[in-house]
Structure 1
Amino acid sequence: MTAVPTVKLNDGYEIPQLGFGVWQVPAEQAEEVVAKALEVGYRHIDTAAIYGNEEGVGTAIAKSGIPREELYITTKLWVSDFKAGTTREALRTSLEKLGLEYVDLYLIHWPSPNDEKYLEAWKALEELKEEGLTRSIGVSNFLPEHLDKVAEVGSVTPAVNQIEIHPLLQQRDVQASNEKYGIATQAWSPLAQGQVFDEEPVKAAAQAHGVNPAQVVIRWHLQQGRILFPKSVTPERIASNFDVFGFALTDEELSAIDALERDGRIGANPAEFNPAG
């Protein structure tokens, strides 16, 4: 089986650099697609409470027969739970749905910065880590100013900051802030939902290496040290997204893809996104 490289986190744990995401995977499809991903060789699965598919992920894990210690499972705390002060209950609910005694990584899904309740949530995550309900704790969609405030109040540094990154939105200021604190950068929507596939540097690299554009973009992330988890419900694409370890992009190809940077944001802007709690 293909050996996926790992990234060592600031708490000493290691995370597979390439994983499988289930954002927008319908609950009724989650078991099937996660089972396929595990069959292909993925061992890192990223889900979230708000996705509504943790039970399907858990069923696929249970049926796979893969030893727990070989899997890396991430889920996330939704805003309504940290604003209501029900962080512990939220994680226990996620664990029950996943059929697990612990997750490898638990993230605050969005800062929702208007009232800074995320700072209280961070302290709660520190307690959950101490209790062993999650091995690592981190954040998602946090901007430098949010990371600075967590650093002021927290006794544990986030292991991961999961943010939207793809060639059209590289968030270099956030990546630099992550690096300053020793926080690993994870990319969500790493393929820009396919919007980058027709860009000339991506097409040229795909042709040069005899691969598809998605594989080129995945290599771009991997070679720059980011953790990512492309999502697909198509068996062929699930497999091809994992088949990315037989070639490497040149420095020139990496630079050409870097140059595609523009404000190509697909998701919400964390500075302005304040869902109801």
Structure 2
Amino acid sequence: MSTTWAAYRRGRRQSRQAWVLLIVLIAGALGGVAWFFTVGQFAVAEAPGNGPTEAPVFDPSWMRPVEPVQPVPVDSAVDALETLPVKGRAVKDNYDRNEFGQAWLDVDRNGCDTRNDILRRDLTAAEFTAGSKCRVASGELREPYVGQDIHFRRGSESSSAVQIDHVVALGDAWQKGAQQLTAKQRQSLANDPLNLIAVDGAANVKKSASDAASWLPANKGFRCHYVARQISVKAAYRLWVTQAEKDAMKRVLDSCPGQQTIRAME
């Protein structure tokens, strides 16, 4: 009889354990469903795309370096950010694109204008127009801002699909120190490969003159490189950041504390 009672108690215990396990599984499933329909679906939708997590800067085989105001510090992006002055914006009503020189000059004197230099650097399978070693006619872009592949084809209706973005927008630079630079230094800033990336045209238009506090690439996997590159440009040209901009940059870099500054010769 004691054996029967022990078996009965053992069965009851196993039954309770099974019910507890079932309840835990059901609760976990319900929690997962609740997470998805509250924040989860947005996290999935905003997951990093398939685009690159960094972008090229310099190809010494055919590009020549542009001289910045001072070298980019060899440091972590977080530490370099701490060296940038924090100030408010200067006035913008006197901004003029011409203050940065004629657009797409051949500043490095390699025989090709800056726009074509960057297209050649960033596109794969680049082809040139007949009889030219500079004028890029077509190519494939592994686009960094939206994380999609884009085919570039030169033409009045198609060229704008790929635009050359100033990582630190010239309008932003003008309000944060560029007014104190010489005309030659501003010309270098506008044509420095460190500050230029071929990107999706629509994303570039949406960014406009925004800083990191008001715009970041939709491709989250590229944000660390993007912010580090902005910091590097601002350090190289003695530009400052606003407090909101610095806070936004630090939030991005919290996810990649080992991120280094970006230098043109790397």
TM-score band (shorter)?
under 0.3
TM-score (norm 1): 0.25
TM-score (norm 2): 0.25
Greater relative contact order, per chain length (Cα 8 Å cut-off, separation 6+): 2
